């Protein structure tokens, strides 16, 4: 609960330092556009108390595809992530996890903050995110005996982004997204599907990240970044999945 409060307070404090800006060319240039393929490694730790109170953790590959475009008013992002972890471990017991995330975000330029005598351009806007999670606890060699759960989180979110130019062709990109209201579903083999509404007080789906972008040519941009993602639901059997992701990406602007 405490980290949720810290996050919300941080957003409010950050907002007080903003200064609005005219929509200059700089704003349009700063927004990262194009088709991006991202790949990397995700260090995942999770606990789904419907299945077990134990913590399962491990590394898994992560793949992401996104499309971004800035028109005269807002920036559009459409993204999709896929992760498959067949061997998360709790001592010698394994658990298989598959996670998918798809979403769309509309971010509007809202102002800038001066930072080392340069501006960091800020964007804020709504996003819709669908997060699905499937876990199988491999207690037996036969699937029919294993505990399994499928969960989905349909969320309305707030997304914030910031771009900061370090040098002519190197920029920093920071982003954060947190759900405000979600509809959560879970399905188990013996209990069927359950549904509940989740607010930030009873769970959320969030991510924060930072990337360094290097413009290789006029069309291509390479980037490397770190992202922390977390989904939590305390409204029913406690579920939490948190991951540190290290990724590299290549974007092409058409």
Partner 1 sequence: MKLTLIYSLLLIAAVFSGCRNLVVTEPTSNNNLDDFNVLWTQVNKVYPFFQQKHINWDSIYTVYEPLAQRAKGDEGFKILFDLLSILKDGHVTITTTGGQELQTYYSPRNIRDRLTFNPVTVRRYFNRELKVAGDGKIEYEFLPDSLGYIKLSSFSSGNWVNDFDVVLNYLRYSKGLIIDIRNNPGGIVQIVEYFAGRFISKEMKYMPHYSKIYSIKIPPIEPRGPFTYSNPVAVIINGASFSGAEHFAEVMKQLPNVTVIGDTTGGGGGSADYTFTTPDGILIQISSSDWRRYDNVPIEWNGISPGITVLQTKEEVDSGHDLQLERAINILEGKK
* Binding site residues, partner 1, CB under 8 A: 3, 43-55, 57, 90-93, 116, 137, 139-140, 144-147, 149, 166-167, 172, 188-191, 210, 212, 226, 228, 230, 232, 237, 240-244, 246
**Which CA distances in Å does 41 have to 38, 54, 61, 62?**
10, 23, 5, 6
CB of 254 to partner 1, least distance (A): 29
Q: Which is nearer to partner 1, 128 or 139 (CB)?
A: 139
What is the smallest separation between the CB atom of 126 and partner 1, expressed in angstroms?
25
Judged by beta carbon, residue 30 or residue 125, the one nearer partner 1 is 30
Q: Two tokens at 186?
A: 């879970």
Compute the least distance from the CB of residue 104 to partner 1, in Å. Answer: 26
Distance CA 187, CA 184 (A): 10
Spatial distance between the Cα atoms of 215 and 19, rounded to a whole number of angstroms? 27
* CB closer to partner 1, 206 vs 251: 206
Residue with smaller CB distance to partner 1, 39 or 189: 189
Could you report how far apart the first and last alpha carbons of the chain are, in Å? Answer: 43
Q: What region does 58 belong to: left with phi over 0, alpha with psi -120 to 50, or beta? A: left
Provide the H-helix boundaries in 44-185.
none
To partner 1, the closest distance from the beta carbon of 94 in angstroms equals 9
Residue 82 CB, nearest approach to partner 1 (Å) = 19
**What are phi and psi for residue 144, nearest 5 degrees?**
-65, -20
Residue 188 or 202: the one with the smaller Cβ distance to partner 1 is: 188
């Amino acid at each position: 609960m405490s980290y949720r409060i810290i996050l919300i307070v941080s957003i409010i404090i950050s907002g007080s330092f903003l200064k609005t800006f005219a929509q200059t060319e700089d704003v349009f240039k700063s927004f990262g556009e194009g088709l991006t393929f991202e790949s990397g490694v995700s260090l995942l730790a999770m606990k789904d108390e419907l299945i077990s109170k134990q913590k399962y953790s491990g590394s898994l590959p992560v793949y992401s595809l996104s499309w971004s475009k800035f028109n005269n008013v807002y920036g559009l992002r459409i993204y999709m992530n896929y992760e498959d972890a067949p061997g998360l471990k709790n001592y010698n017991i394994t658990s298989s996890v598959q996670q998918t995330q798809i979403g769309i975000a509309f971010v509007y330029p809202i102002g800038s903050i001066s930072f080392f005598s340069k501006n960091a351009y800020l964007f804020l806007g709504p996003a819709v995110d669908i997060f699905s999670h499937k876990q199988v606890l491999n207690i037996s060699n036969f699937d029919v005996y294993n505990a399994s759960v499928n969960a989905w989180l349909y969320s309305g979110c707030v997304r914030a982004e910031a771009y900061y130019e370090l040098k002519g062709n190197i920029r920093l990109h920071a982003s954060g997204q947190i759900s405000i209201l979600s509809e959560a579903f879970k399905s188990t083999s013996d209990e069927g599907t359950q549904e509940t509404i989740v607010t930030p007080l009873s769970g959320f789906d969030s991510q924060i990240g930072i990337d360094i972008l290097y413009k290789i040519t006029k069309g291509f941009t390479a980037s490397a970044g770190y992202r922390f993602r977390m989904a939590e639901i305390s409204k029913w059997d406690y579920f939490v999945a948190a991951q540190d992701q290290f990724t590299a990406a290549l974007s092409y602007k058409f």
